[in-house]
């Protein structure tokens, strides 16, 4: 009976030993093996054999790309504006032993490294540049942290700026500034319109004055020609002159009588005598 118990215990120990020595590493993972507390080797995917009770799986590390969310943080720009920025990083562990032995917590370490680098990069930029230069920030950020995390056996695939926005106070100030700028532009546009209208009106008056002056010159020249012709025609005979002057006089009296302000029109009794008096005869 005792021999059966011993045999059973021995068989159980053998089975446990066999199972503890056989390891199946899943695809997309690697096992970090320690031998008596010291790093021994790294096991890739597949069926692997280790020394039981001496070797042990200390860490299981994924070889897939890891998506790391970088928490939002307040960043002060070069012109003392406060913005809120966050990012996302894609990393891949190429040397699991460096990742687990080189740093206490590589996830936390990379998050802090990205945040620190992001604050440093944005701090050297103005607000407008920081809001419009995501690609530039991304390139500088990747260059800044790639060398540091390579010492931990980690490769930075890419880093993306998810969001970069002004703080609530800055947004309110920017909205007020934009509104003031729109009002200024509206005033400038209105002033330019009034200026253009005044210039056009003045040019119109100037052109009309020029036309009136030209018309008066033409009328004066026509009067001069007509007077010359009349003078040549009468040749000392005053009757035609009296006829012309009388005709003009009648036309003038007729115009006066048609005026709204005209009350009384007085006609001379002796029109020919009046005309002669005008002629000095």
Span 8-24, pLDDT tens digits: 787 887 788 888 888 88
| Backbone φ and ψ of 73, nearest 5° | -150, 155
Q: Answer whether 94's CB lies under 8 Å from 61's CB.
A: no
| Backbone φ and ψ of 44, nearest 5° | -85, 180
pLDDT of residue 218: 79
Number of Cβ within a 10 Å radius of residue 89: 22
Number of Cβ within a 10 Å radius of residue 88: 15
**Distance between CA atoms of 253 and 276, rounded to whole angstroms?**
18
Tell the burial category of 239 from Cβ atoms under 10 Å away from its Cβ (0-12, 13-18, 19+): exposed
CA-nearest of 239, 241, 223, 222 to 231 is 241
Instruction: Determine which helix (DSSP H) or strand (DSSP E) holds 62, and give its type and residue range.
Output: strand 55-62
**Distance between CA atoms of 66 and 62, rounded to whole angstroms?**
8
CA-nearest of 155, 26, 157 to 98 is 155
Question: What ranges do the domains of the chain cover?
Answer: 2-62, 66-166, 168-233, 236-281
Q: Answer whether 109's CB lies under 8 Å from 99's CB.
A: no
pLDDT of residue 9: 81
Name the CATH topology of 66-166: Tetrahydropterin Synthase; Chain A (3.30.479)
pLDDT of residue 269: 47
Q: Answer whether 83's CB lies under 8 Å from 73's CB.
A: no
- The first and second tokens of residue 193, run together, are 């319109």
List beta partners, residue 67.
Answer: 90
**Distance between CA atoms of 207 and 217, rounded to whole angstroms?**
15
What's the pTM? 0.57
Instruction: Determine which helix (DSSP H) or strand (DSSP E) holds 200, and give its type and residue range.
Output: helix 168-234
Low-confidence ranges of the chain (pLDDT < 70): 1, 167-175, 223-224, 226-250, 252-253, 255-281
């Amino acid at each position: 009976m005792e021999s059966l118990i011993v045999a059973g215990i021995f068989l159980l120990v053998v089975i446990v030993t066999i199972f503890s020595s056989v390891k199946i590493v899943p695809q997309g993972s690697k096992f970090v093996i320690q031998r008596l507390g010291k790093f021994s080797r790294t096991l890739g995917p597949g069926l692997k054999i280790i020394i039981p009770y001496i070797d042990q799986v200390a860490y299981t590390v994924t070889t897939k790309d890891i998506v790391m969310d970088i928490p939002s943080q307040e960043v002060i720009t070069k012109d003392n504006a406060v913005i809120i920025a966050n990012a996302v990083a894609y990393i891949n562990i190429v040397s699991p032993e460096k990742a687990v032995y080189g740093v206490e917590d590589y996830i936390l370490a990379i998050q802090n490294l990205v945040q620190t680098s992001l604050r440093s990069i944005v701090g050297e930029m103005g607000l407008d540049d920081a809001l419009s230069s995501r690609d530039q920030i991304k390139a500088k950020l990747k260059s800044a942290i790639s060398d540091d995390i390579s010492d931990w056996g980690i490769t930075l695939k890419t880093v993306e700026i998810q969001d970069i926005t002004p703080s609530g106070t800055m947004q309110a100030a920017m909205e007020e500034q934009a509104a003031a700028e729109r009002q200024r532009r509206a005033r400038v546009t209105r002033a330019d319109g009034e200026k253009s209208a005044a210039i056009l009106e003045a040019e119109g008056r100037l052109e009309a004055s020029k036309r009136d002056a030209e018309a008066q010159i033409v009328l004066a020249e026509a009067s001069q020609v007509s007077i010359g012709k009349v003078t040549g025609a009468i040749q000392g005979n005053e009757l035609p002159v009296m006829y012309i002057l009388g005709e003009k006089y009648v036309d003038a009296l007729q115009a006066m009588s048609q005026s709204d302000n005209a009350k009384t029109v007085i006609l001379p009794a002796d029109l020919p005598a009046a005309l002669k008096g005008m002629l000095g005869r």
